[in-house]
Amino acid sequence: ARDDNKKRTQAWHRILAALTLTAFTQANNEATDNSAPYHALCETVNLARGTSIVREELKPVKSAYNELIELNTSADDIAKSAGVPKEHVNKHWTTNWDRWQTAANKLKSTSTTPDKVKNNALANLKEPAKSLVTAAIRQAATTATNIMEKIESEKQAATKYTAATAQEQIGKLVFCAGSTGQTYDNNKVFKTPSNTRQTDCTDKEVTVAATLVCVCAKDNTAALTTPCFRGQLNTQDWHSGNTATRATLWNELIGHCPEQPSAKLPAQHIDGLASAFRAMVKVKSGAGYLGTLHSGTNCDGTQGAAICSKYTGYSTAAQSRQGKIPWLNGLERIAADLADQETAIAATNTMVDQISRLRDEAYTIAEAYKLVSIQQAPTAGSPMLLEIDKQECATQKNRKTTC
């Protein structure tokens, strides 16, 4: 069910992103041949520059969990548990021993014992109050520990990227795998460039930067007047077969990109952008083309043929597309990873809230035992203890344990 919901959500995100991109393009460069891919390529470049922001952040969990474990430790001396029989030392025990021992060490001195624990003074309670409160708090701590194990299982997916590392990966798709900045280097953005446009714009344009140059650079002969935006300069052109494309040409092209001060990196935006690129690739005669085809299928940049990027062997069959446009495959991979990360973060944050509630309920129970007489204190089956049982049951439902 979770996968189905994820697929439906991604489908809607792609539709919305495509509609947004279309509206933006039509409003700005409706008269130019390659304005749609140009603006999509500009958006991708923008993801690699400026300040990036990820959609979701993990909530801190250690504070609430540690406070609960400290309360549990104060009620049930952990030192007594150090000599448990070997048959009781299971995975659960060894995984959590360090956390429990840290709590025990903290409570050895009154100077390091938290005031919240001191104020409850559970060790001073008389029986049967002490046994009842100890059992209730232990159950809350056990439930929280089970939740912590689930949080650990989500950790790898939830921490796949930071804003900086995601932006760094996108930067490599824009400028090349070995790139550490935002400098255009013709020998890096193209795969073994020949300086001949038709050759370099066929399967050698392995980065976003190279693709943008192939789709938008004016040719020195028989060129389109405005391939990507109005006012392109004749002085910044591609003299095919004579000189390589230069940083000055690149600077003119990206100079007209509407740069944003910060780039948000939600999975839905990147996934929608990648889907928009896929939709723009035309399939003709056993190849895919991003850009404009006139009367030819060679991306030589001229008015008479085509100004585009060509991908040999790219067809309508999905399997034929893998690896044909490396930077687009990379963009799709990052979008998928970020979608998994957002899902893992949301699940983790929900579990963090559960631990916070368990901590609050445990301290409420401890406070109740301290303030009221033993006759008035909660007993087995009381509402407060039943709430702890309910929390434990919720964590066990996927383990097929009868509650």
Q: Report the distance separating Cα 284 and Cα 316, nearest Å.
A: 10
Residues of the chain with pLDDT > 70, as a percent, come to: 67
Q: Report the distance separating Cα 118 and Cα 122, nearest Å.
A: 8
**Cis upstream peptide for 85 (omega within 30°):** no
Instruction: For residues 154-159, give the mean pLDDT.
Output: 93
User: Residue 373's pLDDT is what?
Assistant: 41
The pLDDT tens digits of the residues spanning 205-222 come to 999 999 999 999 888 876
Instruction: For residues 213-235, give the mean pLDDT.
Output: 78
CB 267 within 8 A of CB 339: yes
Mean pLDDT of the chain: 78
The pLDDT tens digits of the residues spanning 382-392 come to 555 555 556 55
The pLDDT tens digits of the residues spanning 44-65 come to 998 888 777 777 789 998 889 9
The pLDDT tens digits of the residues spanning 289-325 come to 999 888 878 898 888 888 999 999 999 898 889 899 9
Instruction: For residues 117-130, give the mean pLDDT.
Output: 69
Instruction: For residues 103-109, give the mean pLDDT.
Output: 61
- Please name the residue ranges forming H helices in 159-206: 163-175, 186-189, 197-200
CB 100 within 8 A of CB 69: yes
User: Residue 116's pLDDT is what?
Assistant: 64
- Quick check: 78 pLDDT over 50? no
User: Residue 221's pLDDT is what?
Assistant: 77
Supply the DSSP symbol for 86: G
**Entry pTM:** 0.75
Confidence of residue 2 (pLDDT cuts 50, 70, 90): low
- Please name the residue ranges forming H helices in 184-325: 186-189, 197-200, 208-216, 247-255, 267-280, 318-321
The pLDDT tens digits of the residues spanning 244-295 come to 678 888 888 888 887 766 667 788 989 999 999 999 999 998 999 999 888 8
Confidence of residue 111 (pLDDT cuts 50, 70, 90): low
User: Residue 156's pLDDT is what?
Assistant: 93
User: Residue 140's pLDDT is what?
Assistant: 92
Lowest mean pLDDT among 39-48, 64-73, 166-175, 351-360: 64-73
